[in-house]
């Protein structure tokens, strides 16, 4: 009778039995079943064979000289470690105590004498199945562990790449307090802040749908757009349009980004806010008064460009006013009773903090007390931006890395905006960009941008739109000013603003001449100049606002032509001021 | 959580009712609900009267339905939301995209 | 004890089938191992070591059952129990029975090889 040579598998089986005849029978049976056999005649030898031949299954006689089966089983199980090696006792024991001891020692089953061919085949088969199942489980567990380790490593790398793109910007500015988890990008939260070339700052706080890599992937282009455009002087609305369009294009339609753009202008004492899908913002006035700033827009990445509304709300705010913005992780913090922190939690925390405590600390403290988590929740982002005096915010200017290429030195250009384009397009980023090609001007981007901005807003608001500055001095007038500005911007037919930029090198550096002409009626610059020259602040304030004074302070000279609708300024830069910087950055 | 659909009285609308939590776990069921509907459906009604919770992935699913139903030309109304659910929809200003009743 | 046969013919037939060419070696191994064991059993009894007696007679029991000598196995089991109970007199009587039965079994097994 021929035993089929195994069911396509061959195991290495260790047999330990001090009876030579029993061992011979078992060995022959197993070889006929297609397995390889390793033999030992006592426990010590069994352990030695186990170590040098790593069998798949061990068959052990219970009673053996030198070391009995139970001790051998114990040691073999230790040696096998995580590997599942079934140990089957070969026994003619009949008392149940002894059988139980075999199992306690690590035995997985019994084969009783006399040996039965079918029983042996069935047992070996069953234990092999168990062994393979264990092996599969172990492999899968290890694989999952390994994958998880890889994922963590990849996230770490991705985070480092992201940090390079999305660096913290000016989040470390004295007027900003924030909480964001170091790995918040994988929660889908982003927080960026950038100083604006002409002063003031832009902050973006966002929350992508989903978690992990899909949530993080959209953050990358948003960071690039934000920092790229902010440093070139684009305003919040322009950046929002760009971000929205980009996200609309790259994200699947079920994904979007709730976010808020904050543009803080410390010169005009105003905040511009756009909130699309984030929880209410809280404006805490220096006086202690609170205002709620709800989301008025769809999140980013949903609307197509032509339907997207990037209009930012204008909020007049003075130094000491603070704006709190947050992602929904703040509202969704839960206590041990599974209750939500919610808006009431914020109101309560702010009440508890009173006038003394910083609202940021009040809310963070409120969340900690509520959740009982000292480290705070890792799934939330909270930002507090404080309005400051313009002078206190002077040092945050250019941190961009200068290009090592030599730029143009002798050039000029004329750029003219006409008709309804005056309503829809700001030439400032473009003009700044042209000037920033000159390495000597790049380090002065803040001043250059201020010059361009002031010239442009003078030409547009007081020249083309003929808006009176005095309106801006009262809160009611402030509102009226902006409403009227909106209205008149729609009626700019026949108007233009023309910029002439002239740059040349001088022995000590370079000179930028800017001529800005508009189609307005001009103004009585004679009397204005007179008072500006005599420096009397009272009369100066009555005329032209702070803009012209600022121009005068920054430039070497300021001259009006025609009826006052053409302004020429000369701005000099000196190589001595920048050479050390350039050397430093190129070394 | 369970999702059920039935024809509206007019025969041209599909009513999708979500019972319990409307979140990522309902993703497949929600898609099946409208993708396997009759082609002559012209209007979708998402009935949230039995919905206890709605998260941002549910908002994403509503956007997918909107795409499926024709994007800007889609005719979708979201009905019977409780206060919590309604608040989430309004923070995101979804009333600009859907009729919310 | 006498109701079991000296040799289980059916079991032996199957063993012969499994072992093929090695059947002879198996029988020879069993006989020489058992002779050694019986000598050791005597030595253990003379030394009054009931524990060693038990372990050895247990092994002899196992191999007897496996080779198809059930009556020898049964006598070994009785001897094992006597040893466990420290009844060395009873054990020495049973050891004589083991020797007698082994003589019969080994004669018959040898006969199978001719």
Measured between beta carbons, the chain B residues lying within 8 angstroms of A311 are none
* Among chain B residues, CA nearest to A211: B57
> Mind listing the pLDDT tens digit for each residue in A107-146?
898 888 888 888 888 989 999 999 999 989 999 999 999 9
> Mind listing the pLDDT tens digit for each residue in A396-408?
444 444 444 567 8
Backbone angles phi, psi at C98, to 5 degrees: -60, -45
Distance from CA of A562 to the nearest CA of B (A): 50
pLDDT band at A169 (very low <50, low <70, confident <90, very high): confident
- C52, A61 Cβ separation under 8 angstroms: no
Structure tokens at B87: 């608040």
> Percent of chain A at pLDDT above 70?
87
**In the predicted model, is pLDDT for residue B55 greater than 60?**
yes
Paired residues of B53 in beta bridges: B21
**In the predicted model, is pLDDT for residue A326 greater than 60?**
yes
Verify whether the Cβ–Cβ distance B56 to A258 is below 8 Å. yes
Q: Indicate the SS3 state at residue A172.
A: coil
Nearest beta carbon to residue A295 from set B57, B66, B93: B93
> Mind listing the pLDDT tens digit for each residue in C27-81?
999 999 999 999 999 999 999 999 899 989 999 999 999 999 999 999 999 999 9
Among candidates B101, B91, B89, which has minimal Cα distance to B62? Answer: B89
- A121, C22 Cβ separation under 8 angstroms: no
Verify whether the Cβ–Cβ distance A298 to B61 is below 8 Å. no
- Please report the pLDDT score of residue A1 as a whole number: 39
Residues in chain B: 101
Verify whether the Cβ–Cβ distance C66 to A24 is below 8 Å. no
Touch of C by B (3+ CB pairs closer than 8 Å): no
* Among chain C residues, CA nearest to A24: C26
Nearest beta carbon to residue A115 from set C26, C66, C73: C66
Looking at residue A340, the DSSP 8-state letter turns out to be: B
Spell out which chain A residues touch chain B, with contact meaning CB-CB distance below 8 angstroms: 209-210, 253-256, 258, 276-279, 294-299, 302, 307, 328
The Cα A554–Cα A35 span in angstroms is: 93
- Please report the pLDDT score of residue A279 as a whole number: 94
- Please report the pLDDT score of residue A117 as a whole number: 84
Name the residue ranges covered by the structural domains of chain C. Answer: 29-112
What sign does the dihedral B26-B29-B34-B35 (CA atoms) show?
Answer: positive
> Mind listing the pLDDT tens digit for each residue in A414-434?
999 998 888 888 888 888 888
Average pLDDT score over residue span A21-36: 92
Among candidates A277, A508, A40, which has minimal Cα distance to B56? Answer: A277
The tokens 């289980």 sit on which residue?
C8
Please state the separation of Cα C67 from the chain's center in Å.
9
- Please report the pLDDT score of residue A529 as a whole number: 53
Q: Is B38 exposed, middle or buried (0-12, 13-18, 19+ CB in 10 A)?
A: exposed
- Please report the pLDDT score of residue A405 as a whole number: 53
Average pLDDT score over residue span A67-86: 91
Select the residue from A253, A308, A331, A332 to test the B interface by mutation, using most B Cβ atoms within 10 A: A253
Among candidates B34, B90, C64, which has minimal Cα distance to A92? Answer: C64
Structure tokens at A549: 């004074």
Angstrom CA distances, B44 to A26, B56, B94, stand at 73, 20, 16
E-assigned strand segments in A92-175: 109-112
C9 touches chain A (CB under 8 A): no
Cβ pairs A/B, distance under 8 A? 48
Angstrom CA distances, A100 to A89, A105, A107, A467, B54, stand at 11, 9, 9, 100, 56
Verify whether the Cβ–Cβ distance A258 to B92 is below 8 Å. yes
**In the predicted model, is pLDDT for residue A580 greater than 80?**
no
**In the predicted model, is pLDDT for residue A445 greater than 80?**
no
Average pLDDT score over residue span A443-453: 81
Angle at A370 between CA A365 and CA A372, to 5 degrees: 90
- A92, C58 Cβ separation under 8 angstroms: yes
Backbone angles phi, psi at A30, to 5 degrees: -70, -35
- A258, A327 Cβ separation under 8 angstroms: yes
Verify whether the Cβ–Cβ distance B91 to A277 is below 8 Å. yes
- C79, A37 Cβ separation under 8 angstroms: no
Distance from CA of A156 to the nearest CA of B (A): 25
The Cα A123–Cα A525 span in angstroms is: 107
* Among chain A residues, CA nearest to C27: A21
Please state the separation of Cα A534 from the chain's center in Å.
52
Touch of A by C (3+ CB pairs closer than 8 Å): yes
Q: Taking the CB of residue A312, how many other CB atoms lie within 10 A of it?
A: 20
**In the predicted model, is pLDDT for residue A293 greater than 90?**
yes
**Full DSSP string of A281-307:** EEEE-TTS-EEEE---SPPBTSS-GGG
Q: A434-468 as b/e, with b when 16 or more CB fall inside 10 Å?
A: bbbebbbbbbbbbbbbbbbbbbbbbbbbbbbbebe
- Please report the pLDDT score of residue A579 as a whole number: 41
Q: Taking the CB of residue A153, how many other CB atoms lie within 10 A of it?
A: 10
Nearest beta carbon to residue C62 from set A1, A32, A92: A92
Measured between beta carbons, the chain A residues lying within 8 angstroms of C65 are 92, 113-114
CATH class of residue range C29-112: mainly alpha
> Mind listing the pLDDT tens digit for each residue in A470-486?
777 677 777 788 888 88
- Which range has the worst mean pLDDT, A229-238, A260-269, A572-581? A572-581
Paired residues of A497 in beta bridges: A417, A518
**In the predicted model, is pLDDT for residue A187 greater than 90?**
no
Measured between beta carbons, the chain A residues lying within 8 angstroms of C15 are 25
Terminal alpha carbon distance of chain B:
22
pLDDT band at A447 (very low <50, low <70, confident <90, very high): confident
Nearest beta carbon to residue C63 from set A22, A28, A91: A22
* Among chain B residues, CA nearest to A340: B84
**In the predicted model, is pLDDT for residue A53 greater than 80?**
yes
B91 touches chain A (CB under 8 A): yes
Torsion angle, CA of B89/B91/B95/B97, rounded to 10 degrees? Answer: -90
Verify whether the Cβ–Cβ distance A24 to C17 is below 8 Å. no
Nearest beta carbon to residue B60 from set A254, A279, A297: A254
> Mind listing the pLDDT tens digit for each residue in B31-46?
988 988 788 888 999 9
- Please report the pLDDT score of residue A116 as a whole number: 84
C63 touches chain A (CB under 8 A): yes
* Among chain B residues, CA nearest to A254: B60
Pairing of strands B99-100, B76-79: parallel
Cβ pairs A/C, distance under 8 A? 58
C107 touches chain A (CB under 8 A): no
Q: Which residue has the higher pLDDT, A294 or A462?
A: A294
Mean pLDDT of the residues in chain A: 83
- Please report the pLDDT score of residue A583 as a whole number: 37
**In the predicted model, is pLDDT for residue A15 greater than 70?**
yes
Among candidates A329, A324, A257, A317, which has minimal Cα distance to A292? Answer: A324
Which partners does chain B have (≥3 C-beta pairs < 8 Å)? A
- Which range has the worst mean pLDDT, A160-164, B1-5, B59-63, C14-18? A160-164
**In the predicted model, is pLDDT for residue A79 greater than 50?**
yes
**In the predicted model, is pLDDT for residue A67 greater than 80?**
yes
Among candidates A105, A38, A96, A115, which has minimal Cα distance to A77? Answer: A105
- Please report the pLDDT score of residue A378 as a whole number: 64
**In the predicted model, is pLDDT for residue A383 greater than 90?**
yes
Task: Name, in order, each residue with C-beta under 8 angstroms of C95's C-beta and a sequence gap of 6 or more.
Answer: C38, C41, C42, C45, C79
Paired residues of A574 in beta bridges: A509
Verify whether the Cβ–Cβ distance B92 to A298 is below 8 Å. yes
The tokens 């049964």 sit on which residue?
C74
- Which range has the worst mean pLDDT, A98-107, A323-332, A354-363, B77-86? A98-107
**In the predicted model, is pLDDT for residue A106 greater than 80?**
yes
Backbone angles phi, psi at C12, to 5 degrees: -65, -35
pLDDT band at A224 (very low <50, low <70, confident <90, very high): confident
The Cα A228–Cα B95 span in angstroms is: 33
The Cα A6–Cα C28 span in angstroms is: 29
The Cα A305–Cα A253 span in angstroms is: 15
- Please report the pLDDT score of residue A581 as a whole number: 41
The tokens 């999702």 sit on which residue?
B3
A117 touches chain C (CB under 8 A): yes
Verify whether the Cβ–Cβ distance A117 to C59 is below 8 Å. no
Structure tokens at A448: 């250059």
Q: Indicate the SS3 state at residue A263.
A: strand
> Mind listing the pLDDT tens digit for each residue in C77-111?
999 999 989 988 899 999 999 999 999 999 999 99
- Please report the pLDDT score of residue A262 as a whole number: 97
Nearest beta carbon to residue C59 from set A19, A24, A28: A19
Select the residue from B34, B63, B84 to test the A interface by mutation, using most A Cβ atoms within 10 A: B63
Pairing of strands A257-265, A290-293: unpaired
B11 touches chain A (CB under 8 A): no
- Please report the pLDDT score of residue A551 as a whole number: 80
Structure tokens at A393: 């915010």
Average pLDDT score over residue span A213-234: 85
């Amino acid at each position: 009778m021929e035993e089929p040579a195994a069911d396509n598998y061959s195991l290495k089986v260790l047999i330990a039995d001090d009876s030579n005849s029993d061992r011979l029978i078992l060995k022959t049976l197993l070889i006929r079943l297609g397995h390889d056999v390793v033999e030992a005649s006592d426990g010590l030898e069994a352990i030695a064979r186990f170590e040098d031949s790593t069998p798949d299954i061990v068959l052990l006689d219970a009673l053996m000289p030198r070391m009995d089966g139970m001790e051998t089983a114990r040691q073999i199980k230790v040696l096998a470690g995580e590997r599942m090696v079934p140990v089957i006792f070969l026994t003619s024991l009949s008392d149940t105590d002894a059988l139980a001891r075999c199992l306690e020692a690590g035995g997985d089953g019994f084969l009783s004498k006399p040996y039965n061919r079918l029983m042996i085949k069935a047992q070996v088969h069953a234990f092999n199945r168990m062994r393979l199942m264990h092996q599969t489980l172990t492999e899968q567990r290890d694989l999952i562990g390994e994958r998880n380790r890889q994922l963590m490593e990849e996230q770490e790398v991705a985070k480092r790449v992201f940090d390079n793109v999305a660096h913290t910007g000016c989040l470390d500015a004295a007027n900003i307090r924030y909480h964001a988890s170091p790995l918040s990008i994988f929660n889908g939260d982003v927080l960026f802040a950038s100083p604006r070339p002409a002063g003031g700052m832009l902050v973006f706080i966002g929350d992508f749908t989903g978690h992990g890599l899909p949530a993080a992937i959209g953050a990358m282009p948003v960071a690039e757009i934000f920092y790229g455009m902010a440093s070139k002087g684009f305003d919040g609305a322009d950046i929002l349009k760009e971000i929205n369009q980009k996200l609309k294009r790259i994200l699947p339609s079920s994904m979007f980004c709730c976010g808020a753009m904050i543009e803080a202008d410390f010169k005009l004492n105003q905040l511009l806010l756009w909130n699309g899908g984030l929880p209410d913002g809280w404006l805490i006035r220096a006086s202690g008064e609170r205002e709620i700033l709800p989301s008025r827009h769809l999140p980013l990445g949903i609307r197509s460009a032509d339907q997207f509304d990037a209009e930012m709300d204008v909020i007049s705010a003075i130094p000491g006013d603070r704006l709190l913005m947050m992602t929904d992780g703040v509202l969704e913090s839960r206590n041990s009773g599974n209750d939500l922190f919610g808006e009431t939690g914020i109101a309560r925390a702010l009440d508890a903090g009173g006038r003394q405590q910083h609202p940021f600390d009040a809310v963070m403290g409120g969340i900690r007390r509520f959740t009982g988590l000292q480290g705070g929740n890792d799934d939330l982002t909270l930002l507090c931006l404080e309005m400051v005096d313009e002078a206190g915010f002077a040092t945050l200017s250019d941190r961009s890395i200068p290009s090592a290429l030599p730029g143009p030195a002798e050039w000029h250009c004329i750029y003219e905006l006409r008709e309804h384009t005056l309503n829809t397009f700001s030439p400032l980023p473009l003009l700044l960009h042209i000037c920033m090609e000159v390495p000597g001007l790049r380090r002065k981007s803040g001043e250059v941008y201020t010059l361009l901005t002031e010239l442009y807003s003078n030409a547009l608001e007081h020249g083309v739109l003929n808006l009176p500055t005095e309106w801006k001095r009262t809160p009611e007038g402030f509102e009226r000013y902006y409403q009227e500005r909106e209205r008149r911007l729609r009626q700019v037919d026949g108007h233009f603003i023309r910029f002439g930029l002239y740059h040349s090198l001088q022995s000590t550096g370079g000179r930028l001449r800017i001529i800005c002409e508009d189609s307005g009626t001009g103004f009585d610059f004679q009397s204005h100049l007179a008072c500006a020259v005599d420096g009397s602040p009272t009369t100066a304030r009555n005329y032209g606002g702070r803009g012209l004074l600022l121009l005068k302070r920054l430039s070497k000279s300021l001259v009006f032509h025609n009826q006052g609708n053409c302004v020429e300024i000369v701005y000099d830069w000196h190589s001595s001021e920048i050479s050390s910087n350039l050397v430093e950055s190129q070394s | 959580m369970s999702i059920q659909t039935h024809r509206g009285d007019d025969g041209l609308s599909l009513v999708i009712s979500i019972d319990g939590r409307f979140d990522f776990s309902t993703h497949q069921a929600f898609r099946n609900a409208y993708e396997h509907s009759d082609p002559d459906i012209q209007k979708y009604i998402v009935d949230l009267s039995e919905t206890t919770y709605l998260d941002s992935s549910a908002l994403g699913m509503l956007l997918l339905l909107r795409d499926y139903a024709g994007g800007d030309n889609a005719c979708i109304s979201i009905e019977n939301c409780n206060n919590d659910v309604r608040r989430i929809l309004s923070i995101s200003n979804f009333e600009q995209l859907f009729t919310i009743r | 004890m006498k109701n079991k046969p000296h040799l289980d013919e059916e079991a032996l037939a199957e063993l012969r089938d499994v072992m093929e060419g090695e059947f002879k070696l198996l029988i020879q191994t069993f006989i020489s191992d058992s002779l050694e064991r019986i000598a050791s059993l005597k030595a253990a009894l003379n030394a009054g070591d009931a524990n060693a007696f038990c372990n050895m007679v247990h092994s002899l029991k196992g191999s007897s059952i496996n080779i198809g000598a059930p009556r020898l196995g049964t006598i070994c089991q009785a001897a094992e129990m006597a040893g466990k109970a420290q009844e060395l007199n009873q054990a020495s009587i049973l050891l004589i029975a083991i020797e007698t039965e082994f003589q019969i079994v080994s004669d018959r097994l040898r006969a199978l090889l001719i």
